[in-house]
Homo-oligomer: A and B are copies of this chain.
Amino acid sequence: MPDQVKPVTRAAQTRTRNQSLIIDAAESVFARHGYTGGSLKMIAEAANLPKANVVYYFGSKENLYQALLTRIVKIWELGLGDISSDSDPAVVLEQYIRKKVSQSRRYPLASKIFTSEIIQGAPHLDEIFWKELKHWLNNQVAIIQSWIDLEKMNSVDPKHLLFMIWSSTQHYADYSTQLGHLMPSENDELVFDDAANTLCNIILGGCGLKSANLSVH
């Protein structure tokens, strides 16, 4: 397919720019009002475009939301990276926790939309998503279990350990409203650093490991 032969026309640039404007606006609107509560009118106003333009580029509200969900799931995919039984569990787990906290800080809206989707029964996620997630989870569980078998760490249920990491890290995205009331701070980054350090200390400690206080690269 000779796609790169075609020059990047001005129209094509406009197209991608507007699609990006719209999907960003949709992320903000859906995060604040939910799928049903977010209207095409609100999204259009947030994107500074007429409502009909939104429909023109994405066909329907459902399609727009699906495109947004796809983008969000891709962020999650960047998982623990390549790990094996030979890896050091302390390093892998600490890096994973810090990466998840960092994602909560950088993409809080993504986490909010995903959590809302799950809470409401995941009506927009298909079987393929669950199949892939299950496959990914089983791989990680097997590796963690091998660490336990090799006595590299305490015997804890690997699935619940991963659920714990997911929930406690995404909490700093999903519950940002509550955190704003309970931890009024002028420096958000400090809060996230404290959170990551505390989570690493407790979770690694609870697994019989020792945090090296790594930073996220």
Q: Residues of A with Cβ closer than 8 Å to B?
A: 31-37, 112, 115-116, 118-122, 130, 133-134, 137, 154, 156-157, 159-161, 163-164, 166-168, 170-172, 174-175, 177-179, 181-183, 194-195, 197-199, 201-208
Contact = CB atoms under 8 A, between A and B. Distances in A.
Given A205-B205, A207-B202, A166 B171 contact: yes
Number of identical monomers bound together in the oligomeric complex: 2
Nearest to A174: B119
Contacts of A206: 201-206
B202 A156 contact: yes
Specify which of A112, A154, A179 lies most central, judged by the most chain B CB atoms within 10 Å of its CB. A112
Nearest to A111: B119
**Interface residue SS majority, chain A:** helix
Nearest to A138: B182
Contact of A118 (B35, B36, B175, B203): B175
A31 B119 contact: yes
Contact of A198 (B121, B130, B156, B208): B156
Contact of A119 (B115, B130, B164): B115
B160 A167 contact: no
Nearest to A129: B181
Contacts of A208: 205
A198 B160 contact: yes
B161 A198 contact: yes
Nearest to A34: B34
A29 to B, nearest CB: 11
Given A167-B168, A168-B167, A194 B37 contact: no
